Amino acid sequence: MSEVKRGYVRPLDLKHGRVDMTHGSGGRAMVQLISELFTRHLGNAYLGQGNDGAVLPAAVLNGKPARLVMSTDCHVVSPLFFPGGDIGCLSVHGTLNDVAVMGATPLYLAAGFILEEGFALAELACIVESMARAAHAAGVPVVTGDTKVVERGKGDGIFITTTGVGVLPDGLELGGARVRPGDVVLVSGSMGDHGVAIMSQRENLSFEASIESDTAALHGLIAQLLATGADIRCLRDPTRGGLASTLNEIAGQSGVGMMLHEKAIPIKPVVAAACEFLGLDPLYVANEGKLIVICAAADAPRLLATLRAHPLGVDAAVIGEVMADEHHFVQLTTAFGGRRIVDWLAGDQLPRIC
C-alpha cells in the first residue's frame, strides 16, 4: 500500500480548469492560485515577503534623497486579447506610463485582480504570463497584490488594477500647469492605433493592413528626453479621450490655447480609413504607447531628434504650438486650409478601451 503524501494538493489544471469561488475565499485554493500562478510568474524578493504589503527600500536616486510618485489605474478592456496585446501587458504599461510622465523612474508595481467564477485558468495564465513579460522587460517588479473572485455573471472574466511607485529627483517639475504661450507641441508617433485595434477586434472587422495596439512602456524613452536637459514643460500619454481630450485638459490647467496642424499629426492611413468607416475621429481615439511632449520652442528640434532616434518615437512630429487664449481653445488648421475647434470629447465613443 502506497503511502499517502501528507498535505498533498493536486496542482492547478491550467489547461482545463476554471476559476471558482474558493479561489477568492482566503483558503487553501486561493493560496494555491497565488503560489502556482501569480508568484510563479511575477515572483521576486519583495512579492516573496508574503505579507499584506511589501517593505521597500527608501527613495534614493543617484545617491540622493528623492520624492516618490504613485499612480493607480483600473483596466477593464474588452476584449481581453486584442491585436498587439492583452489586458495583462496593458495593465503594466498603462500604470508605468502614468508614473513616467511625471518625470519619475518607475520602481515597483502592485496588482489587484477581480476574477469571475468560471473564468478559464488557461486564459488567466496567458494574462499573468503577459504581465510578467511586460514587467520584466520594463525592469519594474510586481511586489504585492490581491485577488478576489465574484460570482458567475457578476464580472466580465477579469478586471485588473495596477498601482505604480516611482522616484522623482528633486528639482524636476513637470505638469499641465507649466505650459506657456510660445511652447511647442510634439507627439512621439501615430495617433489612434490602440483604440482602432480594439474596435476592429470587437466588431470582428478586418482591413487590408493589420492594425495593432501600440501598448508599450514609455519610461525608457522619457528618460532619454529628460537626459537632454531640455526645458520640458509637460509630458502626457494620450489614453482615453485621445490627443484631443488630453490637450484640452492641459490647455485648461495652464490657461492657454493651442493651434494644431492637421497635416502634421501622424495617423496611419489604415487607422484613418478605419476611423472613417467606424465613424470615429482619430484625434479622440485612445493610445497606449504614445507620448505628448510640450516644451520651450528652442528645445523642440533636439527633442524631436531624440524621439526619432528611439524605437518608440521614429514617427515623432511637431504638431502645433501653444498660444495665448483666454478661452483655452484647442484649434486645428485643416488640410484644406480651414480652422476648427477641437473640443473636449462629448460622451464616450469607445467604452472599455483600456
The string of pLDDT tens digits covering residues 302-326 is 999 999 999 999 999 999 999 999 9
Average pLDDT, the chain: 92
As a whole-number percent, the residues of the chain with pLDDT over 70 amount to 95
Residue 4 placed within a domain: no
Is there a contact between 118 and 19 (Cβ–Cβ < 8 Å)? yes
Q: Amino acid identity of 90?
A: L
Within this chain, do residues 185 and 327 fall inside the same structural domain, yes or no?
yes
Buried b (16+ CB within 10 A) or exposed e, 106-118: bbbbbbbbbbbbe
Looking at residue 245, the DSSP 8-state letter turns out to be H
Residue 349 placed within a domain: no
Within this chain, do residues 161 and 257 fall inside the same structural domain, yes or no?
no
Is there a contact between 188 and 295 (Cβ–Cβ < 8 Å)? no
Within this chain, do residues 213 and 161 fall inside the same structural domain, yes or no?
no
- Mean pLDDT calculated for residue range 29-44: 91
Buried b (16+ CB within 10 A) or exposed e, 246-264: bbbbbbeebebbbbbbbee
Within this chain, do residues 186 and 96 fall inside the same structural domain, yes or no?
no
Residue 1 placed within a domain: no
* Region class of 153: left (phi > 0), else alpha (psi between -120 and 50), else beta: left
Is there a contact between 276 and 227 (Cβ–Cβ < 8 Å)? no
Given a cut of 50, whether residue 1 has pLDDT beyond it is no
Residue 52 placed within a domain: yes
Within this chain, do residues 108 and 87 fall inside the same structural domain, yes or no?
yes
Within this chain, do residues 208 and 226 fall inside the same structural domain, yes or no?
yes
Given a cut of 90, whether residue 193 has pLDDT beyond it is yes
Q: Amino acid identity of 81?
A: F
CB-based contacts of 221: which residues, under 8 Å, 6+ apart?
188, 291, 307, 310, 312, 313
- Mean pLDDT calculated for residue range 172-194: 96
- Mean pLDDT calculated for residue range 94-119: 96
Within this chain, do residues 53 and 109 fall inside the same structural domain, yes or no?
yes
Length of the chain: 354
Last-in-domain residue among 109, 141, 168: 168
CB-based contacts of 223: which residues, under 8 Å, 6+ apart?
105
Beta bridge partners of residue 333, listed in sequence order: 261, 339
Within this chain, do residues 278 and 132 fall inside the same structural domain, yes or no?
no
Within this chain, do residues 154 and 27 fall inside the same structural domain, yes or no?
yes
Q: What is the pLDDT of residue 208?
A: 64
Alpha-carbon gap, residue 223 to 87, rounded angstroms = 25
pLDDT band at 155 (very low <50, low <70, confident <90, very high): very high
Given a cut of 60, whether residue 224 has pLDDT beyond it is yes
Q: What is the extent of the structural domain holding 45?
A: 18-168
Last-in-domain residue among 115, 142, 168: 168
Is there a contact between 56 and 110 (Cβ–Cβ < 8 Å)? no
Within this chain, do residues 184 and 326 fall inside the same structural domain, yes or no?
yes
Within this chain, do residues 200 and 100 fall inside the same structural domain, yes or no?
no
Within this chain, do residues 192 and 302 fall inside the same structural domain, yes or no?
yes
Of 151, 148, 155, 116, residue with least CA distance to 25? 148
pLDDT band at 21 (very low <50, low <70, confident <90, very high): confident
Q: What is the pLDDT of residue 7?
A: 60
- Mean pLDDT calculated for residue range 98-126: 96
Given a cut of 80, whether residue 59 has pLDDT beyond it is no
Last-in-domain residue among 118, 144, 168: 168
C-alpha cell at position 143: 511586489
Given a cut of 80, whether residue 173 has pLDDT beyond it is yes
Given a cut of 90, whether residue 179 has pLDDT beyond it is yes
CATH of residue 40's domain is 3.30.1330.10
Which tens digit of pLDDT belongs to each residue from 251-271? 999 999 999 999 999 999 999
Q: What is the pLDDT of residue 6?
A: 58
Residue 135 placed within a domain: yes
Domains: count for the chain? 2
CATH of residue 186's domain is 3.90.650.10
Which tens digit of pLDDT belongs to each residue from 228-250? 999 999 999 999 889 999 999 99
Residue 2 placed within a domain: no
Residue 108 placed within a domain: yes
Residue 8 placed within a domain: no
Count other C-beta atoms under 10 Å from residue 128's C-beta: 22
Say what the pTM is: 0.91
> Taking the CA of residue 136 as centre, how many other CA atoms within 13 Å lie in the half-sphere pointing to its CB?
10
